[in-house]
Amino acid sequence: MANKIYDMIIIGGGPGGYTAALYAARAGLSTLVVEKLSAGGQMALTEQIDNYPGFEQGVDGFTLGERMQQGAERFGAVTELAEVLAVDLAASPKVVYTSEGDFYARTVVIATGANPRHLGLPREQELTGRGVNYCAACDGMQYRGKTVVVVGGGNSAAADALLLSRVAEKVILVHRRDTLRATKVYHQPLMKAQNIEFRWNSEVVALQAESKLTGVTVKDRLTGEESLLPCDGVFVSVGRQPATELVKGQLQLDDAGYILADETTRASLPGVYAVGDVRTKQLRQVVTAVADGAVAVHSAEEYLAELN
Ligand code: NAP
């Protein structure tokens, strides 16, 4: 039997991916979502989302992800739980090679998101889960009554420091500059929290550990002086790395590795679209990811109409 050719394959089941699936399936396109683990992507790791409209009490990211999946499946979108190993986006039809077999489609939406960036320190990988963490909402509860270091100065670091201040005894925020990049909404609560200390103009240069983390070495960038901060855990909140390994060499990327695509979400090959955090854009949020998902299907419908 000939292989089925989908109208659209979506790689990644976060908010951008499942919104594309909802719009595509609802428009009558045969739609497959390939997702590695479970719906929601990075959003599923967020304990409380207050800036997605329609939830007056906020909503947890895992629940929202599941609801987005169910909403798309209601119109016939199919989810395949598989790891994508490679893609051929220039072929006709386009091919998505996965751990569960090969899938074919006329259009492909890349919705692979972005993963936490690492500090790149010796032993960082080995100590992950043994004191080194990348998700305060996931792992913060282990540090009840303990001392933790948060590295970074953006919205993630600010949100993580506040969340951890409600659990840990002491939180030390280490930032490489003397001001936060985080939006103003975080500044006052951070300054008011009794148990958050700041180490400005400082960077973590080493992890101290035997079998698990016991502290970090911090270097003052102005004086060059190094000091040891004993702690039970470190949360690395220094931004994210786009998940574009699969499409390198096939799609144009910007200097930071994000897929180059404008508001139409069209990537550099016909019939390929980039949505959510993986796309070049100004603001990476759930609302902007879902908007991308809708726009991608609009662009894909125009492309499919020309193919026929
Ligand atoms: P981000 O805004 O890119 O901030 C990264 C922070 O880490 C910056 O302060 C940066 O320092 C620092 N940094 C980067 N590399 C470093 C290194 N090697 N060593 C030490 N520090 C390093 O990343 P983010 O906070 O993860 O946010 C990502 C996106 O998600 C943003 O668009 C953000 O607005 C969004 N977000 C929004 C919310 C919210 O609205 N509630 C919450 C979380 C995330 P410099 O300041 O010196 O560059």
Tokens representing 239 are 């931004």
For 233-285, the pLDDT digits (tens) are: 999 999 989 999 999 999 999 999 999 999 999 999 999 999 999 999 988 89
Q: What is the pLDDT of residue 62?
A: 94
CA of 180 to the centre of ligand 1 (A): 9
Task: Place 203 in a pLDDT band, splitting at 50, 70 and 90.
Answer: very high
Average pLDDT over residues 7-24: 98
Question: Residue 297 has what DSSP assignment?
Answer: H
pTM exceeds 0.75: yes
CA of 159 to the centre of ligand 1 (A): 11
Q: What is the pLDDT of residue 137?
A: 81
Q: What is the pLDDT of residue 308?
A: 75
Four-point Cα dihedral 115, 121, 125, 131, nearest 10: -100
CA of 158 to the centre of ligand 1 (A): 9
Domains of the chain, first to last: 5-115+240-307 (3.50.50.60), 118-236 (3.50.50.60)
Tokens representing 101 are 């077999």
Average pLDDT over residues 74-97: 98
pLDDT at 108 over 70: yes
Taking each helix axis from N to C end, the angle separating 61-73 and 15-26, rounded to the nearest 10 degrees, works out to: 20
Question: Does residue 162 have its Cβ closer than 6 Å to ligand 1?
Answer: no
Contact 261, 292 (CB under 8 A): no
The rounded percent of the chain whose pLDDT value lies above 90 is 90
Task: Place 294 in a pLDDT band, splitting at 50, 70 and 90.
Answer: very high
Q: Which residues contact 116 (CB under 8 A, 6 or more apart)?
A: 134, 135, 236, 237, 240, 241
Q: Which of 7, 50, 60, 139 is catalytic?
A: 139
Average pLDDT over residues 59-85: 97
Residue written as token pair 């499409």: 247
For 141-174, the pLDDT digits (tens) are: 999 999 999 999 999 999 999 999 999 999 999 9
The rounded percent of the chain whose pLDDT value lies above 70 is 99
User: Which position has the higher pLDDT, 1 or 243?
Assistant: 243
CA of 152 to the centre of ligand 1 (A): 6
Question: Does residue 156 have its Cβ closer than 6 Å to ligand 1?
Answer: yes
Contact 12, 113 (CB under 8 A): yes
In angstroms, rounded to a whole number, what is the distance separating the alpha carbons of residues 138 and 29?
36
pLDDT at 93 over 90: yes
| Residue with CA nearest ligand 1 atom 43 | 156
- Told to judge if 231 belongs to the known catalytic residues of this protein, a careful annotator would answer no
Q: Which of 138, 178, 254, 262 is catalytic?
A: 138
Of the candidates 119, 25, 107, 113, which has an alpha carbon nearest to the alpha carbon of residue 292? 113
Q: What is the pLDDT of residue 195?
A: 98
Contact 151, 234 (CB under 8 A): yes
pLDDT at 218 over 90: yes
Q: Which residues of 251-282 are buried (b: 16+ CB within 10 A; e: fewer)?
A: bebeeeebbebeeebbbeeebbbbbbbbbbbe
- Nearest-atom index, ligand 1, CA of 50: 41
Residue written as token pair 């939406």: 109
Compute how many other C-beta atoms are within 10 angstroms of the C-beta atom of residue 71: 16
* Element spanning 209, H or E: strand 202-209
In angstroms, rounded to a whole number, what is the distance separating the alpha carbons of residues 174 and 157?
9
Per-chain mean pLDDT for the chain: 96
| Residue with CA nearest ligand 1 atom 33 | 155
pLDDT at 1 over 60: no
Q: What is the pLDDT of residue 29?
A: 98
